[in-house]
Amino acid sequence: MAKVIHRRDFLRYAVGAVGGAALGGTLLRPVLSGAATVTGAGPYGALSSTTDANGFQLPSGFSSRLLAVSGTQVGSTGYTWHANPDGGACFPVTGGGWVYVSNSETSSGGGGAGALKFDSTGAVVGAYSILSGTSRNCAGGKTAAGKWFSCEENGSSGKVFECNPQAAGQGVRRDALGSFSHEAAFEDPVTGYVYLTEDDPSGRFYRFVPTTTGDFSAGQLYAAKVTSGVISWVATSSSAPDRQSGTTAFSGGEGIWIEGRTLYFTTKYDIKVWQVDLNTMAISVLYDGVTNTTAALNAVDNVTVHSPSGDVYVCEDGGNMEVCILASNGLGDIEVAPFLRITGHSSSEWTGVAFSPDNTRMYLSSQRGTNGSTGRTYEITGPFRTSVNPPSTTTTLVPPSTTTTTTNPPPVGTTLLAAGSTWKYRDTGVNLGTAWRNYYYDDSAWASGAAPLGYGDPMATTIGYGPDATNKYTTTYFRRTFTATNGFSTLTLNLRRDDGAVVYLNGTEVARTNMPSGTVTAATLASTAIAGTDETTYFPLTISGQLYNGINVLAVEIHQSGGTSSDIGFDCSLVGTGNTGSLPNPPPPPVATTTLTITDDAHVIDGSNAAKNYGTATTALVQSGGLNSGKNCWYHLKVDTTAHAGTVSAAVLRLYLTGAKNTTTPLVVKAAPTTWTESTVTWNTKPVPGAVIASKSVVGSTATWYEFDVTAYVNAERTAGRNTVAFVVQANQATSSQIKAASGENTTTANRPKLVLTA
């Protein structure tokens, strides 16, 4: 049964806050307070009365998938899924796909964290450990740079570890983040401060201020002191739990999530969901489960926010094994309702709730499963909302003293991107050309912050303008992804820009304002200087452009009107109206190839030429006995592959051959040691070749390119840490044959041998 909590109830429940302080500040974050009316059972309606194959009761249209079971290998990955899966989060993978990380709340050094890797279709393509040898890794949180904080709930000795979710490895312990029974830690992407909870009946709420933003090895730890609903921060030691009389106790801190400028966290012993305004440090109770004895949510643990809708999801630790949703009904009221329930897991708890980067899939774990010892990790898919506006419907509203039936107004559109969203930005003054606006551009190294972004006027995120205030950078770049599941007859971009802007949707220009016509470069100035109310006005622009099913990319460049301009500012929202049906999928990611030139090559000849070096020859010989007095010729090549970063899906050795003396000559390519140089190698000093790694027959005498697949060998060498690889080419027949190849010194540069690596 859904429970509606009314505004006057919130004010009354807030009296139960820590220390009995009167809590100040707004109770609802803006996206919640402005939400449209929702149904009495939550925005997705009642749960199914029947269970699916995994034991779930879900709203209509949603389904579950079992991904991993503790103690069992994940597919063909070779990784055995860890015991007691707990806190988790999702991270995008460059080029498509994402990673879901999960802690292991196992004692006595058996904990750590593992990861599931998904491709762009949602298929599991990898699993691995990112941390091991730690104890009771409970919850955690994200860093602005895309790392994972894994936190030990291990008494006064509990630590925080910074882990890389993108690859197997071992996290780094961050002692400066405190020594106590850690639960969760989350970096504010705007300030770089880290907020932490402590799982103890007398636990504190902490903030860590790093000496250098993004470096968690040094800084000052603080504990919260709540006075009249506002937090102040008291310096504390990182070597022990804070128990100063001047700091405020929170009863069993659990999960943390930051969305925009609002931080949410839960406390389990008093069943509360808290919210903190990160701009003002006002703290309030969003939900009180002790007072609301009939509400669906009767135990709290991990928490997350679904960004497009602003809905808050809270895991139950025990209870009746539900994940509940907190959503506004448009009257300033918050509706609490179950989003899912699982049967047969009564001795477990829900953990690790998180959404995929495109917000279309939910991940979570039943920590102890059906038997109290075997955890299970799941994926939930379905029609998650793409905006704060629910479908138009007739809804029964329940005010405190009466019942009224009201019909929603007509829908006003789907918010694809809300104002005040977090953006990636580049404010270094570097000319990024045109590549930065492309769909698959890698912006992982960019800074990020909530909009409005700029300088000179009040902004949520202040960005840089360079070292010279009289010659500020002309252009600043911004990128943001959003999700679409259908097309729209009209797309409206509500754009705040100071001074000029050019907007790109999925790589194509869709809007230009206060900018000259023609080609725009990093040096192009805005047409005029913006002043007055125009600096903060959101101008509606109707745009057209190709949307994709799933993730889309909005890229914006803001231009100054001159180097002495005092300010810039940027924010926008994107709203679609008129559903036009299904959308095409995004284009496949470009294939990254690296063409490497040969660093050393030389052929060697036996017999009377066995002591001669041919490293400067413009043509290389490959020959078996029978020609030229029965001599044999081998062609040696060597290349450094360091320039190719990342994985190698294909490695091809390309040789320009001038044809065979015989009708057909079979060639073999063998692995070779690298202990030779082209200026000294001879038949007498040549290395002993290894196994055959590729072969191909040269037919006829026409000069053309021949390709040899050497992928397995190159990968094996690179995996072993040997980036330089070497080959030897031989004619593989007893009868006489001869082939000539353009060497690395050939006068026709385009015909020189190459090794082509594909990512």
State the average pLDDT over residues 588-592.
77
Between CA 655 and CA 669 the distance in angstroms is 11
Phi, psi dihedral angles at 534 (to 5 degrees):
-60, -20
At which residue do the structure tokens 């969203």 appear?
421
- Is the model's pLDDT at 333 over the cut of 70? no
**Exposure b/e, 179-212, CB count within 10 A at least 16 = b:** bbbbbbbbbbbbbbbbbbbbbbeebbbbbbbbee
pLDDT in tens, 528-553: 988 887 788 888 899 988 999 999 99
DSSP for 459-479 reads -SEE----S-TTS--SEEEEE
Between CA 299 and CA 285 the distance in angstroms is 15
State the average pLDDT over residues 485-511.
93
Q: Kindly report the pTM of this predicted structure.
A: 0.53
DSSP for 272-290 reads EEEEEETTT-BEEEEEETT
Between CA 583 and CA 585 the distance in angstroms is 7
Give the confidence band of 331 by pLDDT, cuts at 50, 70, 90: low
Domains parsed from the chain with CATH numbers: 3-389 (2.120.10.30), 414-581 (2.60.120.260), 593-758 (2.60.120)
pLDDT in tens, 649-693: 889 999 998 766 766 778 899 999 999 999 999 999 999 999 999
DSSP for 386-428 reads SSSPPPP-EEEE--SS--EEEEPPPP--EEEE-TT-EEEEE-S
**How much is the pLDDT for 297?**
87
State the average pLDDT over residues 356-379.
93
Alpha-carbon dihedral sign for residues 523, 528, 533, 534:
negative
- Is the model's pLDDT at 629 over the cut of 90? no
- Is the model's pLDDT at 161 over the cut of 90? yes
State the average pLDDT over residues 106-116.
95
**How much is the pLDDT for 168?**
94
Give the confidence band of 78 by pLDDT, cuts at 50, 70, 90: very high
CB 480 within 8 A of CB 596: no
| Tokens read off for 493 | 């971009």
State the average pLDDT over residues 562-576.
92
The fraction of the chain above a pLDDT of 90, given in percent, is 64
Residue 96 burial (CB count, 10 A):
16
Helix (H) or strand (E) segment spanning residue 33 = helix 30-33
**How much is the pLDDT for 365?**
96
**How much is the pLDDT for 722?**
92
Between CA 84 and CA 376 the distance in angstroms is 8
**How much is the pLDDT for 23?**
29
> Residue 640 contacts by C-beta under 8 Å, 6 or more apart in sequence?
596, 599, 723, 724
**How much is the pLDDT for 733?**
66
- Is the model's pLDDT at 586 over the cut of 80? yes
**How much is the pLDDT for 736?**
66
**How much is the pLDDT for 388?**
65
Phi, psi dihedral angles at 745 (to 5 degrees):
-105, 10
Q: Please count the residues of the chain.
A: 759
Phi, psi dihedral angles at 33 (to 5 degrees):
-65, -20
